[in-house]
Amino acid sequence: MLYDLLGYGERMGSKNSTATKRADALRSIDAIVQAAAECLGQNPEASLSEIARAAGVGRVTLYAHFASRAEVVDAAMSRAIDRGNEVLDTVDLSGDPLLALARYIEAGWHLVDQARALLAAAQRELSAERIRVLHAGPSARVEALLARGRAEGAFRTDLPLAWMVNVLHAVMHSAAEEIRAGRLTSEHAGHHITATVLAAFTPPGQPVPEAGGGAPR
Amino acid sequence: MLYDLLGYGERMGSKNSTATKRADALRSIDAIVQAAAECLGQNPEASLSEIARAAGVGRVTLYAHFASRAEVVDAAMSRAIDRGNEVLDTVDLSGDPLLALARYIEAGWHLVDQARALLAAAQRELSAERIRVLHAGPSARVEALLARGRAEGAFRTDLPLAWMVNVLHAVMHSAAEEIRAGRLTSEHAGHHITATVLAAFTPPGQPVPEAGGGAPR
DNA sequence: TATAACTTGAACAGTCCTGTACGACTTAGT
DNA sequence: ACTAAGTCGTACAGGACTGTTCAAGTTATA
């Protein structure tokens, strides 16, 4: 069984040289990817049958467009990442690094919350390398912001940049889990994450910034 | 062996809750639980056949002692938690809360690292409630420490205690993943976690503590 | 030593999933 | 309007795992 390299490239935006698909085929593919994102978002173990049914499409049709389960998961994940990138594009990351990071968190944790279960599915089906590649966009964004903040003295430099990126995502991720478990409300999540991360990133010796204006508890 | 076989057996509706087991039966059970912890630790989807084989026991024997896959996972998880509790019992959590927390992290993150994949298996097989109960011991420990630190002014009080517990575990957990992914070395993990969490828990307005003596990189 | 508890492999039943093949039908594009 | 592309249901082949049963052998323990 060969890797469908053309398929991957196609999903990642590159123009394919093969014959253009018919309109109804594109519609089917879109419905499948969308349904996959929804189904896998609710249950990472959702079968291809479920996904096809949710897409309002025959199971055979699904196989006509995707050679394997992995391809479906990949497409759904790619789609979610692309959507996320579009949202993050609208966030202003200039100006005071602390405020910029707060803005990033406010937009970002919702995305993490939505893609939570989908990511779980991807981690089972896709290689770690593939997942890393898919996340390259968001990672680069926050990495650049943190690097600038470090250069300006706003963030600590005694910890590796990669570790700080990791901490940010870990805290957002765990907040999403807490919400799902009913131990945290959506209203407080942004504030808690921001307060926690800004403190964690404060250079040693400097005072932790006071919280903006969120409810304390 | 602190984990009580009879205890969870009763909870999960297993047979023979009263009869005393023969010595060889107890030996088999122990081998199965141990093998389950190892197998599930490497692959959360390990089948009962694999586990039985790893335990040097027939598959039928496994079913003679555990009614379902869930019971096996539960037993393995209980065992891991008990082992962890034993280790944590040796950690001195008195004195300066910051130093106590650092000691807890140093001991705790190794445990999280070891039980990482096993927890993943448990999260698929067991109810969220059951997992919460199993973690009650460690959670209570760190909760008490954080509460004391807050009372003494060492830790911030503008965030819920439960959230802080969650952050601590999330950061330790993500460090374990980073190590597994090869993006972090075991030597640095303790230092990074401690530096991050101590900063995150510092009361707003107060300076972030300088790192102890770990290599900064 | 007697016996009940334990272990074992083989084999069975049942379920769910993936992936493929077919033939007939419907639709899009030029 | 014509044809290729797309779709659909059904059906099949194959695999993996769970859980149970059975009959025969082994071992702990009183």
Record: contact B211-A204, CB cut-off 8 A: yes
Q: Which nucleotides of D are covered by protein (CB under 7 A)?
A: 5-11, 16-22, 27-29
Residue type, B57: V
8 Å CB contact between B144 and B155 = no
Which ranges of B55-160 does DSSP label H, i.e. alpha helix?
59-65, 69-89, 97-125, 128-134, 136-151
pLDDT band per the 50, 70, 90 thresholds, residue B217: very low
Structure tokens at A3: 């890797």
pLDDT at B2: 34
Record: contact B204-A183, CB cut-off 8 A: no
End-to-end CA, chain B: 41
Q: What are phi and psi of B207, to 5 degrees?
A: -75, 145
Out of A173, A201, A208, name the one closest to residue B203 (CB): A208
pLDDT at A124: 86
Query: Closest approach of chain B CAs to the CA of A87, in angstroms?
Result: 25
Angle, vertex CA B81, rays to CA B174 and CA B101, nearest 5: 55
**What is chain B's Cα-based Rg?**
20
Residues of B in contact with A109 (CB under 8 A): none
Query: Closest approach of chain A CAs to the CA of B123, in angstroms?
Result: 12
Average pLDDT over residues B131-149: 95
pLDDT at B17: 43
Average pLDDT over residues B72-100: 96
pLDDT digits (tens, 9 = 90+) for B14-27: 444 446 888 999 99
Q: Is the CB of A21 under 7 A from strand D?
A: yes
8 Å CB contact between A150 and A156 = yes
**Minimal-distance CA residue of chain B relative to A160:** B217
Residues of B in contact with A203 (CB under 8 A): 208
Catalogue all structural domains in chain A, each as residue range(s) with its CATH number.
Answer: 5-13+22-70 (1.10.10), 91-200 (1.10.357)
Give the CA B29 to C1' D25 distance in Å.
21
A20-27 contacts at long range (C-beta below 8 A, 24 or more positions apart): A25/A65
pLDDT at A117: 87
pLDDT at A14: 27
Structure tokens at B199: 């900063």
Look at residue B13 and tell me whether its pLDDT is greater than 60: no
pLDDT at B21: 83
Residue type, B125: E
Average pLDDT over residues B96-116: 94
Q: Is the CB of B24 under 7 A from strand D?
A: yes
Question: A67-71, A100-104, B117-121, B213-217 — which is least confidently predicted?
Answer: B213-217
Q: Which residues pair with A207 in a beta bridge?
A: B207
Structure tokens at B70: 């869930």
pLDDT at A5: 33
pLDDT above 70 coverage of chain B, percent: 88
Look at residue B1 and tell me whether its pLDDT is greater than 90: no
Q: Is the CB of B23 under 7 A from strand D?
A: yes
Record: contact B178-A166, CB cut-off 8 A: yes
Q: Per residue of chain A (217 residues), what is the pLDDT tens digit? A: 223 333 333 333 322 334 578 889 999 999 999 999 999 988 889 999 999 999 999 999 999 999 999 999 999 999 999 999 999 999 999 999 999 999 999 999 999 998 988 998 998 889 888 999 999 999 999 999 999 999 999 999 999 999 999 999 999 999 999 998 899 999 999 999 999 999 999 999 999 998 764 333 3
Residue type, B215: A
Average pLDDT over residues B60-78: 96
How far apart, in whole angstroms, are the C-alpha atoms of residue A145 and residue A75?
28
Q: What are phi and psi of A207, to 5 degrees?
A: -70, 145
Report the nucleotide nearest the CA of residue A55, measured to C1': D7
Record: contact A192-B128, CB cut-off 8 A: no
Query: Closest approach of chain A CAs to the CA of B167, in angstroms?
Result: 6
From residues 66-105 of A, which are strand D contacts by CB within 7 A?
none
From residues 81-110 of B, which are strand D contacts by CB within 7 A?
none
Burial of B187 (0-12, 13-18, 19+ CB in 10 A): exposed
Residues lining strand C at under 7 Å (Cβ) are A 1, 22-24, 47-50, 59-60, 63, 67-69; B 16, 19, 21-22, 24-25, 27-28, 56-61, 64-65
How far apart, in whole angstroms, are the C-alpha atoms of residue A94 and residue A88?
13
pLDDT digits (tens, 9 = 90+) for B51-62: 999 999 999 999
Give the CA B49 to C1' D28 distance in Å.
26
pLDDT at A128: 86
8 Å CB contact between B70 and B126 = yes
pLDDT at B117: 87
Residues of A in contact with B192 (CB under 8 A): 159-160, 163
